Chain A
Amino acid sequence: MRFLILFSLLLLAATGKAQQTDPGSEGRLKGLSLEELGNIEVVTTSKSPVKLSQTPAAVYVITQEDIRRAGVTSIPEALRLAPGVDVAQIDGVKWAVGIRGFESRLSRDVLVLIDGRSVYSPLFHGVYWEVQDTLLEDIDRIEVIRGPGGTIWGANAVNGVINIITRNAKDTKGTLVSATGGNLNQGLLDIRQGGGSDNFAYRVYAKGVDQAPEFHADNHQFDDWRHAQAGFRTDWNATDRDKVTVQGDIYDGAAGERANVTILSPPALANVEENARLSGGNVLTRWQRTLKDGSDIQLLAYYDRVNRLQANQAEYRNTFDVDFVHHLLLGKRNDFLWGLEARLSPASLPEIVPSYVFTPNQRIDQVYTAYAQDTFALVENKLSLTAGTKLLHSSFTGWDAEPSVRVLWTPTSRSTLWGAVTRAVRTPSDIEDTLVNTALLSTNPLEFTRIIGDGKFTSETLVGYEIGYRSLIAKSVSLDIATFYNQYDHLLSLEPGVPFVEDDQGTPAMIYPFINGNGVKGSTSGFELALDWKARPWWRLVTSYSFLNTDLRAAPFSEDTTTVFQDDGESPHNQGQIQSYLDLSKTLDLNLTFRYVGALPYYRVSSYETGDARIAWRPIKHWEFALTGQNLLQPHHVEYGGDPGPLVGIRRNVFGSVIFRK
């Protein structure tokens, strides 16, 4: 049957008809039986975009197909596929992923969820990307929401939300084995087995990663990385109306790192190169019930364990979370959503070195939220208004509100104009709350700096203004523009205290204290532009460009002199990329990517451009052979700073993969 399609298309192509927009393929399914129709694999071009075009926010969806065709081997790499996401590899282990500025290893303004489980660390206000993993083939999609999402998603969804959603076990029946080897990815093995019926389906998976160090000018190859992970998921249609999902993951790894550790007695600064021991796991269950009138409820509960032992710090954390959502259709015009969530996160932060101390070192971080949001159709199918707020009570700062108002106008079925005003907050983390971090400044005279969390740091706030436009400008071309103006207040600053002499260690030492404050304010503005062009049925081009302008300053009461420069110079102000998805034949795909990322003055990282390529071949059923090259345009280039010592060069990476899917 496929052969017939191929043949008819060859014929059409030969007569030149395939040159026209699309018509060559019309009617080619004529004469097929129902069974045959049911076995044709389709590309789902329009499903999510239809819904997407009806969303009053800057949303981009990375699909399973995008991930597979790009040949990426980790979640941060996959995030490069979305416009407006700043992704930088720091070294072989660490990543910095930001949205609309404030990019850092632990970007404090981006909330990340995997199947509804928050992986944003309350320890260090950000996401440890090196431990966020799953089988990439089991990811259904990654939804990237640029802009504040506090009303729905809660604290820390200030500049964006990244939702990683794995596939229903029903869709992953069968066997997957994928083996990859190359100069950097020295070994990468994915195994998954799924089965069951449509009423009860399951899968189990295991994966292992062994990665070589990146380029180091000083030849200290500290950043090799090994990681093993296993997990499962079951999906059960308990009744016609009830769906129950249970899933879990467990991981263990050793991640090479270099850390500057200050020793107090005798005073010294040690450059420690050793493995961080990272392990953990989670169990999650979700129950969804469809109610008679088309409304639905969802109850989500999870437990998450984090073990992190580094050269200068440790974290052992249990997180318990319960989340309830009720979605109601009220009359014809109202779509109402309300929910409650409670999260308790007891953690032990024992002292590894006396220069890095949490007091107390046992704590329970707590967040309780309630929210309600209504979408009201002002003019049916043309104009809708969404308004709502989240109320949030955290153990750090007490009450916060995150209201938003959004308007969506669809003048025609092919274009959408939307606007939003949103308030969002970033709650303090353990680090800012109670950490006392002492660092050696000089040995003669003996001087230290000391960053102090005195418990008074409060939430950072944002009021974000957004306008976006989406349009299907031609049958095969869609355009997405999002602009923003973000007004921040109470941003983190380091407020110098009065220097004093301390005589704890026998030798008098001068201490320069800095207290975590809320002394930076200002605005950022910019836009993201994305163009998706299906030039031919077999060729898709995705182009995007994003621009960021920052205008931050110390508040009048603040004496901070360094933070503004850092906030301004740690994210690229210009970024662009072109991705080409090409089906060379039925069995051969070629993907090419070119990207440009602007300079990061704070880390003295210059701008760079580089490209990736992947060719995949499926000569026989079930088997795929792929060759992938990443960062091809130079032997190595620097993407980010942050590690002590010389900047780490990210090397050209070439690897081959053999994939068996049945």
Chain B
Amino acid sequence: MRRRRSRATLAVVFAACWAFVGASIRAQTPKPTEYEVEAAYLSNFGRFITWPVAARSADTFNVCVLGQDPFGPLLDAALRGESIGASPMAPRRITTTAEALGCRIVYINSAKDNQLKAILAGLRNSSVLTVSDAPDFTRQGGMIQFILDANRVRFEINLAAAQRAGLTLSSDLLKVAVTIRRAP
């Protein structure tokens, strides 16, 4: 009987502990997810890149997500109220490579990585900045690849691919990149 009671007491203490914890917390500093940081990067890259004149015709600076969208409202929030030059930034969700031609930046979700080659081939003659977190993205011809480095989101740049597309990347951007691939 004694044993039972002491067990019950402990269970109550345990439960009280939970209740206390639940009640006493309001303000928190959750760490962002990698996608929140990636979205912030996507809203930033445009400032460090110059597109060829022909590609600048559109009224809006479209940041597109091709395939399954990992960002949800995070991307909309990151782009809200931002503009590059006179063009306001806008998020777009697209499903085909053809639609990507109307984008300045296209983010290709890694869930689609078996189709990566086809997508990159379809964008080869355009001036769209290709970004992804797919492993080996820059190796396969993508331009900017997010990587996780000790729980921090960094990126690699395939400079050769960007130059082939007529994009000019500022030295500030290159300085921050973890690795830069120069050879094709």
Once the chains are docked, how many angstroms separate the CA of A290 from the CA of B139? 10
Query: In the complex the two chains form, is B111's CB within 8 Å of A294's CB?
Result: no
Query: In the complex the two chains form, is A37's CB within 8 Å of B29's CB?
Result: no
Query: In the complex the two chains form, is A45's CB within 8 Å of B11's CB?
Result: no
When C-beta atoms are compared, the residue in chain A nearest to B74 turns out to be A26
Select the stretch in A253-261, A300-308, A579-587 that faces chain B.
Answer: A579-587
Given A43-B33, A290-B139, CB of A35 within 8 Å of CB of B176 = yes
Cross-interface CB contact of B31 among A13, A42, A536, A592, cutoff 8 Å: A42
Query: In the complex the two chains form, is B26's CB within 8 Å of A18's CB?
Result: yes
Query: In the complex the two chains form, is B34's CB within 8 Å of A538's CB?
Result: no
Total B residues in contact with A, Cβ cutoff 8 Å = 61
List B118-155 residues whose CB lies under 8 Å from chain A: 118, 136, 139-140, 148-154
List A530-550 residues whose CB lies under 8 Å from chain B: 536-539
A446 proximal to B (CB < 8 A): no
Cross-interface CB contact of A13 among B26, B35, B73, B136, cutoff 8 Å: B26
Once the chains are docked, how many angstroms separate the CA of A400 from the CA of B27? 59
List B22-42 residues whose CB lies under 8 Å from chain A: 24-37, 39-41
Query: In the complex the two chains form, is B152's CB within 8 Å of A38's CB?
Result: yes
As a 0/1 sequence over residues 78 to 114 of chain B, the CB contacts with chain A under 8 angstroms (1 = contact) are 1010100000000000000000000000000011101
List A26-61 residues whose CB lies under 8 Å from chain B: 26-30, 32-35, 37-47, 50, 54
Query: In the complex the two chains form, is A46's CB within 8 Å of B35's CB?
Result: yes
As a 0/1 sequence over residues 140 to 184 of chain B, the CB contacts with chain A under 8 angstroms (1 = contact) are 100000001111111000000000000000001100101100000
B50 proximal to A (CB < 8 A): no
List A415-457 residues whose CB lies under 8 Å from chain B: none
A335 proximal to B (CB < 8 A): yes
Query: In the complex the two chains form, is A611's CB within 8 Å of B14's CB?
Result: yes
Given A30-B78, A40-B153, A171-B150, CB of A584 within 8 Å of CB of B25 = yes
Query: In the complex the two chains form, is B117's CB within 8 Å of A632's CB?
Result: no
Query: In the complex the two chains form, is A592's CB within 8 Å of B17's CB?
Result: yes
A9 proximal to B (CB < 8 A): yes
As a 0/1 sequence over residues 549 to 588 of chain A, the CB contacts with chain B under 8 angstroms (1 = contact) are 0000000000000000000000000000000101111100
A186 proximal to B (CB < 8 A): no
Cross-interface CB contact of A584 among B21, B78, B82, cutoff 8 Å: B21
Once the chains are docked, how many angstroms separate the CA of A18 from the CA of B39? 20
A204 proximal to B (CB < 8 A): no
B10 proximal to A (CB < 8 A): yes
Query: In the complex the two chains form, is A335's CB within 8 Å of B11's CB?
Result: no
A-B pairs under 8 A by CB, number: 165
Query: In the complex the two chains form, is A29's CB within 8 Å of B36's CB?
Result: yes
Once the chains are docked, how many angstroms separate the CA of A381 from the CA of B24? 45
Once the chains are docked, how many angstroms separate the CA of A198 from the CA of B150? 12
Query: In the complex the two chains form, is A538's CB within 8 Å of B28's CB?
Result: yes
Q: Which residues from chain B contact A43 at a C-beta distance below 8 Å?
A: 30-34, 151
Given A43-B33, A294-B136, CB of A32 within 8 Å of CB of B40 = yes
A132 proximal to B (CB < 8 A): no
Query: In the complex the two chains form, is A332's CB within 8 Å of B33's CB?
Result: no
Q: Which residues from chain A contact B149 at a C-beta distance below 8 Å?
A: 170-171
Max chain B Cβ within 10 angstroms of own Cβ: one of A22, A27, A54: A27
Q: Which residues from chain B contact A538 at a C-beta distance below 8 Å?
A: 25, 28-30
Once the chains are docked, how many angstroms separate the CA of A170 from the CA of B3? 51
Query: Nearest Cβ in chain A — how far from B112, in angstroms?
Result: 8
B44 proximal to A (CB < 8 A): yes
Once the chains are docked, how many angstroms separate the CA of A585 from the CA of B24? 11
Query: Nearest Cβ in chain B — how far from A334, in angstroms?
Result: 10
Cross-interface CB contact of A25 among B25, B32, B43, cutoff 8 Å: B32
Query: Nearest Cβ in chain B — how far from A565, in angstroms?
Result: 29
A23 proximal to B (CB < 8 A): yes
Once the chains are docked, how many angstroms separate the CA of A590 from the CA of B14? 13
Once the chains are docked, how many angstroms separate the CA of A317 from the CA of B18? 49
Query: Nearest Cβ in chain B — how far from A438, in angstroms?
Result: 42
Query: In the complex the two chains form, is B10's CB within 8 Å of A42's CB?
Result: no
Q: Which residues from chain B contact A18 at a C-beta distance below 8 Å?
A: 26-28
Once the chains are docked, how many angstroms separate the CA of A634 from the CA of B41? 51
Query: In the complex the two chains form, is A586's CB within 8 Å of B29's CB?
Result: yes
When C-beta atoms are compared, the residue in chain B nearest to A167 turns out to be B150
Chief secondary structure at chain B's binding surface:
helix
As a 0/1 sequence over residues 367 to 389 of chain A, the CB contacts with chain B under 8 angstroms (1 = contact) are 00000000001001100000000
Once the chains are docked, how many angstroms separate the CA of A569 from the CA of B105? 60
Query: In the complex the two chains form, is B14's CB within 8 Å of A580's CB?
Result: no
Query: In the complex the two chains form, is A536's CB within 8 Å of B28's CB?
Result: yes
Once the chains are docked, how many angstroms separate the CA of A77 from the CA of B148? 28
Query: In the complex the two chains form, is A37's CB within 8 Å of B80's CB?
Result: no
A240 proximal to B (CB < 8 A): yes
Q: Which residues from chain A contact B112 at a C-beta distance below 8 Å?
A: 381
Cross-interface CB contact of A40 among B43, B139, B152, cutoff 8 Å: B152
Query: In the complex the two chains form, is A634's CB within 8 Å of B148's CB?
Result: no
Query: In the complex the two chains form, is B34's CB within 8 Å of A47's CB?
Result: yes
Q: Which residues from chain B contact A50 at a C-beta distance below 8 Å?
A: 70, 110-111
A621 proximal to B (CB < 8 A): no
A613 proximal to B (CB < 8 A): yes
A270 proximal to B (CB < 8 A): no
Query: In the complex the two chains form, is A25's CB within 8 Å of B41's CB?
Result: no
Query: Nearest Cβ in chain A — how far from B72, in angstroms?
Result: 8
Query: In the complex the two chains form, is A46's CB within 8 Å of B70's CB?
Result: yes
Once the chains are docked, how many angstroms separate the CA of A43 from the CA of B148? 10
When C-beta atoms are compared, the residue in chain B nearest to A329 turns out to be B114
B77 proximal to A (CB < 8 A): yes
Once the chains are docked, how many angstroms separate the CA of A539 from the CA of B29? 11
Cross-interface CB contact of A29 among B40, B70, B72, cutoff 8 Å: B40
A352 proximal to B (CB < 8 A): no
Given A38-B154, A41-B31, A584-B21, CB of A633 within 8 Å of CB of B11 = yes
When C-beta atoms are compared, the residue in chain B nearest to A375 turns out to be B114
Q: Which residues from chain B contact A37 at a C-beta distance below 8 Å?
A: 37, 40-41, 44, 153
Query: In the complex the two chains form, is A632's CB within 8 Å of B10's CB?
Result: yes
Q: Which residues from chain A contact B30 at a C-beta distance below 8 Å?
A: 9, 25, 43, 536-538, 583
Query: In the complex the two chains form, is A29's CB within 8 Å of B37's CB?
Result: yes
Query: In the complex the two chains form, is B115's CB within 8 Å of A294's CB?
Result: no
Query: In the complex the two chains form, is B153's CB within 8 Å of A38's CB?
Result: yes
Q: Which residues from chain A contact B33 at a C-beta distance below 8 Å?
A: 42-46
Q: Which residues from chain A contact B73 at a C-beta distance below 8 Å?
A: 22-23, 26
Query: Nearest Cβ in chain A — how far from B138, in angstroms?
Result: 10
When C-beta atoms are compared, the residue in chain B nearest to A3 turns out to be B29
When C-beta atoms are compared, the residue in chain A nearest to B20 turns out to be A590
Query: Nearest Cβ in chain A — how far from B40, in angstroms?
Result: 4
Query: Nearest Cβ in chain B — how far from A288, in angstroms?
Result: 12
Once the chains are docked, how many angstroms separate the CA of A38 from the CA of B151? 10
Q: Which residues from chain A contact B27 at a C-beta distance below 8 Å?
A: 6, 9-10, 13-14, 18, 585
Query: Nearest Cβ in chain A — how far from B104, in angstroms?
Result: 17
3 A-B pairs closest in CB distance: A537-B30, A26-B77, A538-B28
Q: List 25 A-B contacts (CB under 8 A).
A: A9-B27, A18-B27, A25-B30, A26-B74, A26-B76, A37-B41, A38-B176, A40-B32, A41-B31, A42-B32, A43-B151, A44-B33, A44-B148, A45-B33, A50-B70, A54-B111, A240-B139, A381-B112, A475-B72, A538-B25, A582-B21, A583-B28, A632-B14, A633-B14, A634-B10
15 further A-B contacts with Cβ under 8 Å, apart from A34-B44, A46-B33, A380-B115, are A14-B27, A23-B73, A34-B41, A37-B153, A40-B153, A41-B152, A42-B33, A43-B30, A43-B31, A294-B140, A335-B114, A536-B28, A580-B18, A594-B14, A634-B7
Residues of A that sit less than 8 Å from B by CB: 2, 5-6, 9-10, 13-14, 18, 22-23, 25-30, 32-35, 37-47, 50, 54, 170-171, 198, 240, 290, 294, 329, 332, 335, 377, 380-381, 413, 475, 536-539, 580, 582-586, 590, 592, 594, 611, 613, 632-634
